[in-house]
Amino acid sequence: MARRYLTTTDVARAVGVHPNTVRLYEEWGFLPPIPRDPRNGYRRFTPRHVAQMRLARTALQWPYPGGKEPVLALVFQAAAGDLGGALENAYHYLAQIQAARARAEAAATLLERWAQGIPTDATSRPLRIGEVAERLGLSRDVLRNWERDGLLTVPRDPGNGYRLYSAENIARLRVIRMLREAGYSAMAILRMLLQLDRGERDDPRAALDTPRPDEELLSVADQWLTTLAAQEERARSIIAQLEAMLGES
């Protein structure tokens, strides 16, 4: 009995995409080589192509915390038949996301401690913007931008108009800097700071990760903790798919 091969439409239906997406994935090298029927030139897909298509669809979804390189590498490796190498890269990607999540959690913990009144700076005298920039490793433009964005208000010297940063201002800047370096958006930080400034200090972590009903989401970093948790689940799904493919090979 002749073997029944799958068509482009069969693969598209199995994965839930348009047939053109299957053709694009073939063109981009995301699928194993697809033999052609010598009689009519039609593509001859197999279950391996379907499994690879599902893997590529799972893996190639933005965002890519920490970078896209291991994801692309694992898709190309799996397409070339190197499933073991692809699995290694999947674990590298999982570790990459977990590292980003650990940084985000550490920054949120610092925020919570600061919100509870735990000191995070002990500057003894007000500092000018150049001194603050040097101390925190930030540019003056960044400090001015954060002020323009409403993340803090800096008092001015009544004699010359220069900004004078107090220990409280610098502590706030340390928290903002760590949150930004951990991936949180300026919008998420502003949302949280506005809540704290209103005296609502019960759960700053939730405010950091929960948009207001009237807030337009502009970035995945507006809900960074939620995003990272979802991406870790996606990385685990990639690993599970590769393990299943290895078991069937």
Which residue ranges form the domains of the chain, and what is each CATH number?
1-54 (1.10.1660.10), 111-215 (1.10.1660.10)
pLDDT of residue 1: 40
pLDDT of residue 7: 94
d(CA 188, CA 179): 10
Q: Along the chain (249 residues), what's the average pLDDT of each consecutive run of 10 residues?
A: 79 96 97 92 94 97 94 98 98 97 96 92 90 96 96 93 93 96 95 93 90 78 94 98 94
Cβ contact 143:133 at 8 Å: yes
Between the two ends of the chain, the Cα-to-Cα distance in Å is 23
pLDDT of residue 47: 95
d(CA 176, CA 196): 13
H or E, element range at 213? none
pLDDT of residue 78: 98
Tokens of 208: 């950091």
**Cα distances (angstroms) measured from residue 124 to each of 157, 165, 166:** 17, 11, 8
pLDDT of residue 123: 83
Q: 119-135 burial, b for 16+ CB within 10 Å, e for fewer?
A: ebbebeebbebeebbee
Q: At what angle do helices 69-79 and 83-115 cross, to 10 degrees?
A: 160
pLDDT of residue 68: 96
